Amino acid sequence: MRGQDRRPWRKGISLLTAAACACVLLAGCGQGEAAEEETMSEVIPVQVQQPEAGSLTLKNEFVGTISPEDSVYVIPMVSAEVTETNVSVGDEVKAGDVLCRLDDEAARLQLASAQAQYDSAAAGVNSAEVGYEMAQAQYDSTAAQLDAQMGGQKNLQMYQLQIQKETVEGAIDDIYEQKSDLEEQKEDAKEQREDLRDARNAANANLQKAQQAYIAARKLVTDMEAKPGEFPVDYSTKLEQAKAALAVAQADFEQAATAAAQASSAYEQAKAGVESIDDGQEQLDNSLEDAYKQLEQAEAVMNITEEQVYEDTQKVVDANKKAAALGINSAEATVNSAKVGVEGAQVAVDSAEYQLDMYTLTAPIDGVIEAVNVGEHDFASPGTPAYVISNKNAMAVTFYVSEGIRNTLSAGQKISVDRNGKLYSAAITEIGSMVDQNTGLFMIKASVSGSDESLLTGCSVKVTVDTYSQDNALLIPYDAVYYDDSQAYVYVAVGNTVERRDIETGIFDEQTITVLSGLTAEDQLITSWSANLREGAEISIQSAQSAADGEEQEGAQE
């Protein structure tokens, strides 16, 4: 942007001219008035251009700091002496690699004690289960004796019929469960069959494409070998390339054929699986029909037998069985209590194993050892990180911006990173929402693509970011704008005279400024400078070449 004094060398010429005029005035007023009239009537040569509609985006530069995107501190969970170290600064490690081991003797003793308690509790469960089996056998014996004593053959027959009925009912329930399972399997098999059908069709389509490519490549080689004279001078090179392409096409064709065969085979297997499930369902339906017939027969026999049993006799038998069952209940409670003890002992074993694992420090991620803070026979503690591991396959750059610039950025926006003249591309991944207390600015973080060994952790880089942008505006040269106090204005050519236009400007860089109002794309903007430019001045529009020649002549005269 410029005012009337924007060109200091032209200002110097004007001063020399004014001095010369003063000398003429000393010679005579008449001559001075003639010179002034000649200056006022001078035709000013100017250059013009029409404003262009477009967008302007500003770029800002910042200082950023490189750091790994993924960096972790390995902190001991227990306090113990370091008995073994396996890594040093700069070593590469994989997730799960052992970094160091701590003195774990106390933890091993605790695990052994917990294991012994678990073994003891498990033995108690076995003993309780043996007691339960004995109580069950005693109950069965007592129940049989009661049935024989109180009901005789009828009770025994009813017992047997009840067992038979329950067995049939259980079989029916099992058949329904199997039918339900088969139905689910059938639905899964159908979905798999449809997926495999789609895969087969896709494989066949791919096979057809590969076959066409192979035939085309083979035809090209055949034609080139048959008629070498019809091909360019570098025939041998072209032929070798065609043969190489043929080999690739043939490999793709064979691979596609294998994939198509496999997909077809898998589809047929899935289809056969659905048919096999249908056969299984039919067999289960037949089995279910037979089971219902058996259940109907058992219930009919039970009804006949039940009518012959005295109700009072049955009540006595049931009461005595209930008394005998108390032993089973007590034994069952003992088993349950013993199992609870085993569960508690297992928790203690798991806890002891977890504690023992804390004495072996492993790498949580793949990366490079950045720092080692423990050595053999040192004392590790939970308050101090033992290792720092960074994954340098993915590096990030962090820089700080003002609130205004922060509001112009967006996640995923591409930026440029310059490290000693080498450029890297990066994408913004994090935009801070809180002012940093040290800088008073907002933190921005970006992921760097194609990072290499030159991007060292902690090094400084230059970050270039597109910030402010203005669309649908008129773009004009920065130097074509003048200021009258705070009012921006330009000169436009209207016919052969100068017209001043007040304008509203937007953003600008070193070359271009945007105009929001006061100017149109059809206006002839005056882009050249002259000390005599003013409203109403007479002008002649020159081409860029003629203007350049005029400036050269003017420079030669000076």
Under the banding of pLDDT at 50, 70 and 90, the label for residue 228 is confident
CA distances from 396 to 287, 308, 390, 426 (A): 68, 91, 12, 8
pLDDT band at residue 30 under the 50/70/90 scheme: very low
C-alpha to C-alpha distance for 403 and 439, rounded to whole angstroms: 12
The residue assigned the tokens 């009919």 is 300
For residue 298, what pLDDT band results from cuts at 50, 70 and 90? confident
The C-alpha R_g of the chain, in whole angstroms, comes to 48
With vertex at residue 125, the alpha carbon angle to CA 321 and CA 118, rounded to the nearest 5 degrees, is 165
Banded pLDDT at 551 (limits 50, 70, 90): low
Q: What is the pLDDT of residues 105-116, one digit of tens each?
A: 988 999 999 999
Euclidean distance between CA atoms 488 and 2, whole angstroms: 10
Percent of the chain predicted with pLDDT > 90: 42
In the numeric block, which tokens belong to residue 432? 């801070």
Residue 470: helix, strand or coil by DSSP? strand
pLDDT of residue 455: 84
CA 15 to CA 8: how far, in whole Å?
11
Q: Is the pLDDT of residue 17 over 50?
A: no
Q: Which two tokens stand for residue 153?
A: 């053959």
The Cα–Cα gap between 399 and 446 comes to: 9
Q: How does residue 5 score in pLDDT terms, banded at 50, 70 and 90?
A: very low
Q: Is the pTM value of this prediction over 0.75?
A: no
Angle subtended at Cα 25 by Cα 24 and Cα 31, rounded to the nearest 5 degrees: 70
At 137-161, the pLDDT tens digits run: 888 888 777 766 665 666 677 787 7
Quick one: DSSP state of residue 386?
Answer: S
Q: Which helix (H) or strand (E) holds 504?
A: strand 504-508
CA separation for the pair 502, 490 (Å, rounded): 7
**Structure confidence at residue 6 (pLDDT):** 41
Residue with tokens 């190489």: 244
pLDDT for the residue numbered 83 = 93
Strands (E), 373-421: 379-380, 387-401, 414-419
| 67 CB-near residues (< 8 Å, 6+ apart) | 390, 395, 396, 397, 398, 457, 458
Share of the chain above pLDDT 70, in %: 86
Nearest to 291 by CA among 127, 175, 210, 401: 175
Rounded-to-integer distance, Cα 81 and Cα 144, Å? 68
User: Is 44-75+386-558 a domain of CATH 3.20.20.450?
Assistant: no
d(CA 388, CA 99): 11
Helix, strand, coil percentages for the chain (3-state, nearest 5): 55, 25, 20
pLDDT (0 to 100) of residue 515:
94
The domain made up of 105-331 has a fold known as Helix Hairpins (1.10.287)
Q: Give per-residue pLDDT as tens, 36-80.
A: 444 445 899 999 999 999 989 888 899 999 988 777 889 999 999
pLDDT in tens, 487-531: 999 999 999 999 999 999 999 988 999 999 999 999 999 999 999
Give the residue among 333, 349, 431 at the shortest CA–CA distance from 107.
Answer: 349
Spell 271-302 as b/e; 16+ CB within 10 A means b. bebbeebeebbeebeebbeebeebbeebeebb
> What pLDDT is stored for residue 339 in this prediction?
92
User: Strand, coil or helix: what is 475?
Assistant: strand
Give bridge partners of residue 372 from the DSSP assignment.
387
Mean pLDDT, rounded, of the chain: 84
Within 10 angstroms of residue 384's Cβ, the number of other Cβ atoms is 13
CB 389 within 8 A of CB 74: yes
Contact assessment for residue 423 and residue 417, using Cβ atoms and an 8 Å cutoff: yes
Beta-bridged to residue 443, according to DSSP, are 400
pLDDT-derived band of residue 303, with 50, 70 and 90 as boundaries? confident
DSSP 223-251: HHHH-GGGS-S-HHHHHHHHHHHHHHHHH
